[in-house]
């Protein structure tokens, strides 16, 4: 058994008093807020302001893409899948998929992009109902004929280039 | 209410004489009490609705957010939506549950919360049973809830439920003592166990004043009663397991305490019981300590509160022989009722009862609000501190109050 | 009792034995509301008393160390952010400092200042969560919301600065991701004003509340010796009366330039090293962090924010360990490099993991409600305990 301290009754009284006093102080704080202004917003009607630096869903400017694939190599999780018709500046992006079930939103892909054609936008709503829908197709869907046409064009250009280079050595 | 039923009985028999020539009194009583019971049940449901909505809304504002505001204007239909949700939920029963205890527990708990409503006056005349031992009855039958909750703690076979049930049993039984002591202060001062008498006593003369205004309330009649009021309220918080005494269902310690395993309508029973019990504590505090149906300003007391019923039944009985058909009788019934209601006495009586009820409900709701306010302000007390507060703080002070009240009654009988 | 009846020849059981009650094993977690994530605590209880408690960890294991060893340094950095998700900037900073030290990469003064600003804002945000969830553990809901109100301001600033709202990926190898704009600077100043305005309110509502004091004072006392022996760091160590703060004692990232105090527990409401002291050290640290942010904001020089580092960063052969003061204590990454673009070994020394190890020592012969209070006062983040 612990010894009863000398001033036990005084301690008891201060304890009870402190209990009553701090209780009233606490109630005072909350009642002031009861009549104060709310800080939350009515979400779907009022939307928060998203700063331009926000790292949300990706956006791709296909016309600027040079198919260097630096974004895919710099991705820590490898969530970017690229397919193309042709290579380099002349190539056409046929598939550019970002798998958001894996994406870290670290911005390393966009920072690696030499032409700044890829960036993470302010879009923050990424609710999907199914797992398959988590993969976002950023490239404009292309029909087979369009791809074929592009390949033919590329081949023709290649042939012209080859022809030109064949001619080139002949000209002094 | 008994006298009202008798008056009603005589007038109704007078009207419906040929149809029900030999209606015994007990049938009228049975019908009247069933109707009254349904009204009280409706009131309990209303309390649960107002309680949940008010609680969440006030909590929202205290926490600088909105609270429910989507279902209906300002979210007032939210409790209905919640109710429908609870009704539609699957009624799950744990495999290891003791089924009998599991099923009976919520019913008993709700029953325990509903019993006090039988004697709880809303106004001078609006009371289901004018019982002489009303106060004793209320304090005694609160213990039914403890049995229900012990069952709920043991029944589902969950360890968290067991903890919650044990904690609550310890807490509720301990707090009966200070609650009883506080009630004893009022019993000593007023000299009655009848809630109606206690309320009437608070409008009686005090310090030589014929109509003592607000100073007639028990809390102003004696310092002992003032302290007892706060203690009764704190004890009531503990007995209804409201924060800061919500440790039987402490969500951060015991997941959900004794109702961890309950879902759907059974959970709703616990929920309703909690809000009903809250209202009982608030209404009891209002009636015992805050003047009952007497407002802060005195109102002219009509000498004959009963004129109304008497005149009505006299009118009917006078006109009854002349009314031949049933339709005639019904017309007579309605017209005499209307003539009395629109008479001076009738209007005065109805207004008086309405103001009285508004007083009781208003005071109760204010105390209700304080409960919600406190809940969203304080941390939770630990079980040993709950016991400490009860046995080492409230009990000695309560005993002191009782002694003070006894001395006061002996030395200054008025 | 029935046993006593059967064995009448046996000597009568002593009173103590007849009062002996059965003990019960209780599973707190991993889905318990107050185990801060997915900690599982196996508790041996005797009624309300807890006799023993064994923390079981690993439910949130994500192989941080192995993943970090399989990726280039710059790509491993976002994973470091995800260890202690409440002190993301501080984690990234520790990793960057380690890589920079081994690779001898210079960081501009502006970048160092920005790192300090972001790290201290993150520390405030983290301590606000600690404050809020601790209140929640003890049954008070409202302080939690108030804490989140201020945290929201800090998070919005960090969002404008870095682009993330929880996992900022702000410190980079060689500097920081984005530069400070005047708009953000004024936001930070507004936040500091608000923080200092509401701080006394927090105390009125919670710190000084008698119920709160009774719940936390003299509960879960960790003595000075115990704290050192169990490898406590951060606010928990300081609460036990040891004045040790890496920002003061082993300054990194220009911390030596800023004037700030290191609060220690003094047993104001009970014993030194109790739950209230641990809580209070965090509360005072919020103010100290405000001071640091203010000084860093005043003294920030112009300059670049990101030193150019090679795309394929190869660190020289060697090993390095740079400890940092995380909101929860000492966080450091031990990096071993063999000259490859990937680390040979990365080992993290996290504060939550080390601080958690004492649970069984102090959660002994306390009430069940105290276990929650002790666990909350240690302020663990399971993401970092399990990695």
Q: Does A22 touch chain B (CB under 8 A)?
A: no
Nearest 5°: the CA angle B391, B397, B403 is 125
Mean pLDDT score, C376-380: 87
How much is the pLDDT for C128? 92
Nearest to C321 by CA among C94, C119, C88, C90: C94
Tell me the whole-structure pTM to 2 decimals. Answer: 0.83
Taking the CA of residue B116 and the nearest CA in chain A, the distance in Å comes to 30
Q: A76 and A21: one domain?
A: no
Mean pLDDT score, B258-280: 85
Residues of B in contact with C140 (CB under 8 A): 377-380
CB contact under 8 A, A27 and B64: no
Higher pLDDT, B311 or B58: B58
Mean pLDDT score, C325-347: 88
With bands split at pLDDT 50, 70 and 90, how would you rate the model's confidence at B302?
A: very low
Q: A30 and A82: one domain?
A: no
Residues of A in contact with C167 (CB under 8 A): 104-105
- Per residue in B312-338, pLDDT tens? 667 776 766 666 667 777 777 777 777
Residue C9 has pLDDT above 50, yes or no: no
| Residue A76 resides in a domain | yes
**Partner-chain residue, chosen from A19, A26, A76, that has the shortest CB–CB distance to C75:** A76
Residue C366 has pLDDT above 80, yes or no: yes
For chains A and B, CB pairs below 8 A equal 37
Burial A122-133 (b: 16+ CB within 10 A, else e): eeeeeeeeeeee
Mean pLDDT score, B39-65: 86
Q: Does C231 touch chain A (CB under 8 A)?
A: no
- Per residue in C121-132, pLDDT tens? 999 999 999 999
Taking the CA atoms of residue B10, residue B11, residue B14 and residue B17 in that order, the dihedral angle to the nearest 10 degrees is: -80
Mean pLDDT score, A45-59: 86
- Per residue in C254-313, pLDDT tens? 888 888 888 888 878 878 888 899 999 999 999 999 999 999 988 888 888 888 887 778
CB contact under 8 A, C209 and A22: yes
User: Cβ of A160: how many Cβ atoms within 10 Å?
Assistant: 10
Given phi > 0 = left and psi -120 to 50 = alpha, else beta, which region is B70?
alpha
Q: Does B33 touch chain A (CB under 8 A)?
A: no
CB contact under 8 A, C139 and B378: yes
Q: Which two three-digit tokens encode residue A96?
A: 């550019």
Among B222-231, C23-32, C242-251, C376-385, the least confident range:
C23-32
With bands split at pLDDT 50, 70 and 90, how would you rate the model's confidence at B303?
A: very low
Among A95-104, B142-151, C16-25, the least confident range:
C16-25
Domain C64-386 has CATH 3.40.50.9100: no
| Residue A118 resides in a domain | yes
Smallest CA–CA distance from B234 into chain A, residue: A20
Measured CB to CB, residues of chain C less than 8 Å from chain B are 24, 26, 32-34, 48, 135-142, 145-146, 149, 205-206, 209, 211-212, 214-215, 367-370, 372
How much is the pLDDT for C121? 92
**Partner-chain residue, chosen from C205, C212, C372, that has the shortest CB–CB distance to B253:** C372
Q: A18 and A82: one domain?
A: no
How much is the pLDDT for B327? 73
| Residue A89 resides in a domain | yes
Residue C5 has pLDDT above 50, yes or no: no
**Partner-chain residue, chosen from A23, A28, A107, that has the shortest CB–CB distance to C163:** A107
| Residue A110 resides in a domain | yes
Contact (CB, 8 A) for B248 and B277: no
CB-count burial class (<10 Å; 0-12, 13-18, 19+) for C387: buried
How much is the pLDDT for A164? 81
Residues of B in contact with A27 (CB under 8 A): 373-374, 377
Output phi, psi for A83, to 5 deg: -130, 150
With bands split at pLDDT 50, 70 and 90, how would you rate the model's confidence at C4?
A: very low
Length of chain C: 387
- Per residue in C228-268, pLDDT tens? 998 888 898 998 888 888 888 888 888 888 888 888 888 78
- Per residue in C145-173, pLDDT tens? 889 989 999 999 999 888 888 888 889 88
| Residue A73 resides in a domain | yes
For chain B, the average pLDDT equals 80
Taking the CA of residue C2 and the nearest CA in chain B, the distance in Å comes to 22
Residue C7 has pLDDT above 60, yes or no: no
Taking the CA of residue B374 and the nearest CA in chain A, the distance in Å comes to 7
How much is the pLDDT for C11? 45
Residue B308 has pLDDT above 70, yes or no: no
With bands split at pLDDT 50, 70 and 90, how would you rate the model's confidence at A172?
A: very low
CB contact under 8 A, B393 and A16: yes
CB contact under 8 A, B62 and A34: yes
For chains B and C, CB pairs below 8 A equal 77
CB contact under 8 A, C369 and B376: no
E-strand ranges in chain C read 24-28, 40-46, 49-56, 171-172, 175-176, 318-326, 329-337, 345-349, 366-367
Among A113-122, B103-112, B295-304, C272-281, the least confident range:
B295-304
Q: How far apart are CA C92 and CA C253, in angstroms?
A: 13
CB contact under 8 A, C209 and A51: no
CB contact under 8 A, C201 and A29: yes
Q: Does C210 touch chain A (CB under 8 A)?
A: yes
Smallest CA–CA distance from B370 into chain A, residue: A27
Chain-centroid distance of CA B281 in Å reads 7
How much is the pLDDT for A31? 84
Residues of C in contact with B167 (CB under 8 A): 48
**Partner-chain residue, chosen from C74, C205, C213, that has the shortest CB–CB distance to A29:** C205
Q: Which two three-digit tokens encode residue C330?
A: 């000492």
With bands split at pLDDT 50, 70 and 90, how would you rate the model's confidence at B388?
A: confident
Residue B350 has pLDDT above 80, yes or no: no
Q: Does B226 touch chain A (CB under 8 A)?
A: no
Q: A76 and A128: one domain?
A: yes
How much is the pLDDT for C192? 92
Residues of A in contact with B374 (CB under 8 A): 27
How much is the pLDDT for C381? 87
Residues of A in contact with C74 (CB under 8 A): 74, 108
Q: Does A54 touch chain C (CB under 8 A)?
A: yes
How much is the pLDDT for C122? 92
Contact (CB, 8 A) for B290 and B363: yes
Taking the CA of residue A24 and the nearest CA in chain C, the distance in Å comes to 10
Mutant choice from B56, B241, B252 vs C, greatest count of C C-beta within 10 A: B252
- Most distant CA atoms of chain C, gap in Å: 91
Higher pLDDT, C163 or B248: C163
CB contact under 8 A, A30 and B61: no
Mean pLDDT score, A53-59: 87
Greatest mean pLDDT among B148-152, C4-8, C186-190 lies in: C186-190
Secondary structure element (H or E) that encloses residue C76, with its range: helix C73-81
Which chains, if any, share at least 3 CB pairs under 8 A with chain A? B, C
CB contact under 8 A, B376 and C142: yes
Residue B238 has pLDDT above 80, yes or no: yes
Smallest CA–CA distance from B164 into chain C, residue: C48
Secondary structure element (H or E) that encloses residue C21, with its range: none
**Partner-chain residue, chosen from B58, B66, B374, that has the shortest CB–CB distance to A34:** B58
Higher pLDDT, A166 or C323: C323
Mean pLDDT score, A76-104: 83
**Partner-chain residue, chosen from A26, A40, A42, that has the shortest CB–CB distance to B377:** A26
For chain C, the average pLDDT equals 85
Taking the CA of residue C280 and the nearest CA in chain B, the distance in Å comes to 16
Q: A67 and A137: one domain?
A: yes
Helix runs in B217-343, H state only: 218-221, 223-239, 264-289, 307-319, 326-341
Secondary structure element (H or E) that encloses residue C137, with its range: helix C109-137
Total of domains in chain A? 2
Q: Which two three-digit tokens encode residue B394?
A: 């409230």
Higher pLDDT, B11 or B116: B116
Q: Does A28 touch chain C (CB under 8 A)?
A: yes
**Partner-chain residue, chosen from B59, B380, B383, that has the shortest CB–CB distance to C138:** B380
Residues of A in contact with C96 (CB under 8 A): none
Q: What is the 3-state secondary structure (H, E, C) of chain A?
A: CCCCCCCHHHHHHHHHHHHHHHHHHHHHHHHHHHCCCCCCCCCCCCCCCCCCCCCCCEEECHHHCCCCCHHHHHCCCCCEEEEEECCHHHCEEEEEEEECCCCCCCCHHHHHCCCCCEEECCCCCCCCCCCHHHEEECCCCCCHHHHHHHHHHHHHHHHHHHHHHHHHHHCC
E-strand ranges in B39-120 read none
Mutant choice from C145, C163, C211 vs A, greatest count of A C-beta within 10 A: C163
Residues of C in contact with A29 (CB under 8 A): 201, 204-205
Residue C344 has pLDDT above 80, yes or no: yes
**Partner-chain residue, chosen from C26, C34, C145, that has the shortest CB–CB distance to B252:** C34
Domain span at A23: 9-39
How much is the pLDDT for A21? 84
With bands split at pLDDT 50, 70 and 90, how would you rate the model's confidence at B18?
A: low
Query: Domain extents for chain C?
Result: 64-386
Burial B234-267 (b: 16+ CB within 10 A, else e): bbbbbbbbbbbbbbbbbbbbbbbbbbbbbeeebb
Q: How far apart are CA B176 and CA B231, in angstroms?
A: 12
Q: A133 and A65: one domain?
A: yes
Which chains, if any, share at least 3 CB pairs under 8 A with chain B? A, C
How much is the pLDDT for B362? 87
Taking the CA of residue B404 and the nearest CA in chain A, the distance in Å comes to 20
Query: Residues 40 to 79 of C: which have CB under 8 A from any A CB?
Result: 71, 74-79
């Amino acid at each position: 058994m612990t010894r009863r301290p000398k001033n036990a009754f005084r301690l008891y009284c201060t304890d009870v008093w402190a209990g009553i006093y701090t209780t009233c102080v606490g109630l005072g704080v909350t009642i002031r807020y009861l009549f104060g202004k709310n800080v939350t917003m009515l979400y779907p009607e009022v939307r928060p302001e998203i700063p331009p630096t926000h790292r949300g869903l990706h956006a791709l400017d296909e016309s600027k893409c040079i198919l260097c694939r630096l974004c895919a190599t710099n991705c820590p999780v490898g969530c970017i899948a690229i397919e193309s018709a042709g290579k380099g500046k002349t190539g056409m992006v046929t598939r550019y998929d970002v798998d958001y079930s894996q994406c870290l939103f670290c911005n390393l892909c966009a920072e690696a992009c030499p032409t700044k054609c890829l960036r993470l936008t302010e879009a923050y709503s990424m609710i999907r109902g199914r797992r398959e829908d988590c993969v976002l197709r950023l490239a404009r869907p292309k029909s087979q004929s369009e791809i074929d046409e592009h390949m033919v064009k590329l081949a023709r250009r290649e042939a012209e280039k080859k022809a030109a280079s064949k001619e080139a050595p002949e000209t002094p | 209410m008994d006298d009202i039923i008798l008056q009603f009985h005589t007038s109704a028999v007078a009207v419906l004489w040929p149809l029900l020539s030999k209606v015994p009194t007990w049938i009228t009583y049975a019908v009247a009490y069933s109707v009254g019971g349904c009204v009280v049940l409706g009131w309990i449901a209303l309390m649960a609705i107002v309680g949940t909505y008010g609680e969440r809304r006030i909590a929202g504002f205290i926490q600088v957010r909105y609270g429910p505001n989507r279902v209906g204007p300002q979210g007032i239909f939210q409790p209905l939506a919640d109710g429908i949700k609870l009704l539609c939920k699957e009624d799950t029963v744990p495999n290891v549950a003791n089924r009998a205890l599991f099923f009976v527990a919520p019913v008993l708990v709700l029953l325990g919360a509903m019993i006090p409503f039988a004697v709880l006056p809303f106004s001078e005349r609006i009371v289901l049973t004018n019982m002489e031992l009303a106060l004793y009855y209320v304090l005694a039958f609160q213990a039914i809830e403890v049995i229900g909750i012990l069952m709920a703690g043991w029944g589902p076979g969950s360890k968290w439920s067991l903890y919650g049930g044990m904690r609550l049993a310890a807490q509720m039984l301990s707090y009966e003592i200070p609650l009883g002591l506080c009630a004893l202060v009022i019993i000593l001062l007023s000299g009655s166990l009848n809630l109606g008498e206690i309320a009437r006593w608070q409008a009686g003369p005090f310090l030589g004043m014929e109509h003592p205004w607000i100073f007639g309330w028990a809390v102003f009649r004696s310092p002992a009663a003032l302290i007892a009021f706060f203690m009764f309220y704190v004890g009531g918080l503990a007995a209804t397991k409201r924060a800061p005494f919500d440790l039987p269902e402490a969500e951060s310690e015991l997941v959900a305490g004794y109702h961890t395993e309950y879902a759907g309508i059974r959970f709703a029973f616990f929920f309703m019981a909690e809000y009903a019990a809250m209202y009982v504590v608030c209404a009891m505090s209002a009636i015992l300590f805050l003047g009952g149906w007497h407002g802060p300003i005195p109102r002219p007391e009509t000498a004959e509160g009963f004129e109304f019923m008497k005149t009505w039944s006299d009118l009917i009985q006078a006109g009854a022989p002349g009314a031949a058909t049933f339709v005639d009788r019904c017309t007579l019934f309605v017209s005499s009722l209307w003539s009395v209601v629109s008479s001076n006495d009738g209007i005065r009586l109805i207004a008086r009862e309405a103001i009285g009820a508004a007083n009781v409900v208003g005071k109760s709701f204010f105390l209700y609000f304080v409960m919600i306010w406190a809940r969203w302000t304080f941390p939770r007390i630990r079980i040993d501190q709950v016991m400490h507060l009860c046995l080492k703080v409230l009990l000695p002070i309560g005993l002191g109050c009782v002694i003070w009240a006894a001395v006061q009654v002996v030395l200054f009988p008025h | 009792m029935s046993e006593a009846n059967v064995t009448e020849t046996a000597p009568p059981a002593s009173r103590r034995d007849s009062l002996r009650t059965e003990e019960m094993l209780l599973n707190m977690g991993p889905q318990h509301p107050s185990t801060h994530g997915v900690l599982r605590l196996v508790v041996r209880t005797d009624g309300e008393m807890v006799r023993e408690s064994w923390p079981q960890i690993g439910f949130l294991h994500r192989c941080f160390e192995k993943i970090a060893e399989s990726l280039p340094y710059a790509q491993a950095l976002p994973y470091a952010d995800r260890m202690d998700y409440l002190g993301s900037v501080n984690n990234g900073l520790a990793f960057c400092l380690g890589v920079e030290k081994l690779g001898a990469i210079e960081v501009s003064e502006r970048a160092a200042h920005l790192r300090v600003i972001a790290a201290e804002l993150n520390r405030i945000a983290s301590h606000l969560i600690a404050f809020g969830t601790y209140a929640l553990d003890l049954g008070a809901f409202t302080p939690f919301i108030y804490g989140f109100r201020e945290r929201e301001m800090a998070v919005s600033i960090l969002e404008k600065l870095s682009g993330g709202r929880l996992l900022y990926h702000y410190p980079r190898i060689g500097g920081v991701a984005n530069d400070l704009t005047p708009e953000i600077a004024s936001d930070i100043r507004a936040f500091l004003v608000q923080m200092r305005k509401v701080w006394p309110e927090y105390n009125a509502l919670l710190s000084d509340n008698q119920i709160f004091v009774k719940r936390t004072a003299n509960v879960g006392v960790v003595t000075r010796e115990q704290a050192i022996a169990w490898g406590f760091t951060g606010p928990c160590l300081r609460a036990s009366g040891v004045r040790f703060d890496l920002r003061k004692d082993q300054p990194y990232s220009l911390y030596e330039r800023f004037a700030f105090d290191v609060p220690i527990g003094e047993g104001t409401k009970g014993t030194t090293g109790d739950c209230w002291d641990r809580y209070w050290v965090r509360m005072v640290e919020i103010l100290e962090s405000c001071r640091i942010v203010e000084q860093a904001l005043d003294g920030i020089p112009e300059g670049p924010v990101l030193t150019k580092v090679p795309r394929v960063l190869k660190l020289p052969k060697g090993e390095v360990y740079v400890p940092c003061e995380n909101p929860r204590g000492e966080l450091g990454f031990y990096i071993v490099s063999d000259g490859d673009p990937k680390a040979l070994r990365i080992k993290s020394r996290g504060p939550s993991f080390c601080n958690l190890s004492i649970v069984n020592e102090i959660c002994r012969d306390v009430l069940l409600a105290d276990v929650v209070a002790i666990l909350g006062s240690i302020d663990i983040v399971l993401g970092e305990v399990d990695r």
